[in-house]
Amino acid sequence: MRRKILIPVLLLFFTNLTYSQTAKYSNEFLSIGVGARALGMSNATVANVNDVTSGYWNPAGLTMLQNDFDAGLMHTEYFAGIAKYDYLAGAMALDTNSYLGVTVIRFGVDDIPNTTDLIDGDGNIDYDRISRFSAADYALLLSYARKTKIPDLSYGANVKIIYRSIGKFAHSWGFGLDLGLQYKLNDWRFGAMARDITSTFNAWSFNEDELIIEVQDSVFNFAPDNSLEITLPRLLLGVSREFPIYNKFKGLVEMDLDFTFDGQRHVLIEGDPISIDPCLGIEINYNQLAFIRFGVGNFQRIEEFENKESMTFQPNFGIGIQFKGVSIDYALTDIGDQSLALYSNVFTLRYSFDRKSD
């Protein structure tokens, strides 16, 4: 009799989908962040972002592009290289008032051993029957931004298409919508980003043939019914200010607040259903050629023994250079759990250029 061994991790994943239709951390790969500049500033960039990464952070920032075309890419690895995160984006000016952007993101774990066919029909273990698969999340963001008739006020929107797969065991499609605003007042900038404003829905489908265990005369089917996973809205508000330091040195500081509406989280301001997670970023530049960045965020309340609480936070650091349209940025950052000390080196390459004049 043919036997199959089901991977325990998959069982846990499917069980979570079946019983948690409104998961608090759904599509969290879209909360990691893109661009070493933003990551070095602890993601405090909603108000001041003005390059191709605006398609992710705040599409309204596309109206602040310094050139007609802007392109960027990033590759980084988390959890000691187990998970890989890739980002590729492009943006362009359609005319003097409207802008377009395209962003592609992949976050995945590859080469996962599949042992469902480890035992052959005669009950023998055959390691040659082990195959490998990937568990990966993909997102495509189509961005549009436009300047308004009000001076220095712009808006933007994202249409998100999400595809998530776990080998040949399960996959899902999701769709969502983001809206963003930016306003400049002298040296001050204000930004707002409403993510998943209509809620983002991921419809999961499961392959029953791959999720069946046959043991002796019994058959166990661990495939749940098709499931709908919902990502609730969140709101990011930011304010930043530029200031002179000395001679050609200038600085920028931004404070952001991340509002979530899916129940209490272990952040600086806990609430049910609203929690608020702040972050602070600082950037110092010399003549817009060389940059150094610092940030602090991911504040968490940790419950210790005897019902005592402590506060932790995550510091970040980054540097960058920019010359003749080429920007190279670096950040030393963590994916989110500073207690593991798994900091990653993040590099971003960006290239900006103008249309050729006739």
CA terminus-to-terminus distance, the chain? 75
- Cα–Cα distance for residue pair 298/115, rounded to 1 Å: 37
Cis peptide before 151 (omega within 30 of 0): no
Q: Is residue 3 part of a domain?
A: no
Question: Does residue 132 contact residue 115 with C-beta atoms inside 8 Å?
Answer: no
Q: Is residue 159 part of a domain?
A: yes
12 vs 234, higher pLDDT: 234
Q: What's the mean pLDDT in 224-242?
A: 86
Check residue 52 and give its pLDDT.
Answer: 96
Q: Is residue 33 part of a domain?
A: yes
Parent domain of 33: 8-353
Number of domains in the chain: 1
- Cα–Cα distance for residue pair 303/60, rounded to 1 Å: 39
Q: Is residue 358 part of a domain?
A: no
Specify the residue for token string 């930043």: 240
Quickly state the pLDDT bin for 22 (edges 50, 70, 90). low
From residue 258, how far is each of 32, 56, 314, 331 by CA, in Å? 13, 15, 15, 21
Provide the sign of the torsion angle of the four alpha carbons 237, 242, 243, 245, taken in this order. Answer: positive
Q: What's the mean pLDDT in 104-115?
A: 90
Q: Is residue 1 part of a domain?
A: no
Q: Is residue 158 part of a domain?
A: yes
Quickly state the pLDDT bin for 334 (edges 50, 70, 90). confident
Q: What's the mean pLDDT in 176-187?
A: 95
DSSP 258-298: EEE-SS--SSSB--SS-EEEEEEEEEEEETTTEEEEEEEEE
Q: What's the mean pLDDT in 37-57?
A: 96
What share of residues in the chain are helix, strand, coil (percent, to 5)? 10, 55, 30
Instruction: Please say if the pLDDT value at position 6 is more than 50.
Output: no
Q: Shortest CA distance to 283 belongs to which of 36, 110, 3?
A: 36
- Cα–Cα distance for residue pair 17/354, rounded to 1 Å: 47
Q: What's the mean pLDDT in 8-17?
A: 39
The token pair that represents 82 in the structure block: 């187990």
pLDDT tens digits, 125-179: 878 778 888 899 999 999 999 999 999 999 999 999 999 998 888 889 999 999 9
Q: Is residue 332 part of a domain?
A: yes
CATH, residue 285: 2.40.160.40
Which DSSP state fits 223?
P
Q: Shortest CA distance to 115 belongs to which of 11, 225, 226?
A: 11
Query: What percentage of the chain exceeds 90 in pLDDT?
Result: 57
Question: Does residue 47 contact residue 189 with C-beta atoms inside 8 Å?
Answer: yes
Q: Is residue 89 part of a domain?
A: yes
Instruction: Please say if the pLDDT value at position 203 is more than 60.
Output: yes
The pTM of this model reads: 0.83
Check residue 226 and give its pLDDT.
Answer: 61
When mean pLDDT is compared across 102-106, 229-233, 333-337, the lowest value belongs to 333-337
- Cα–Cα distance for residue pair 26/266, rounded to 1 Å: 16
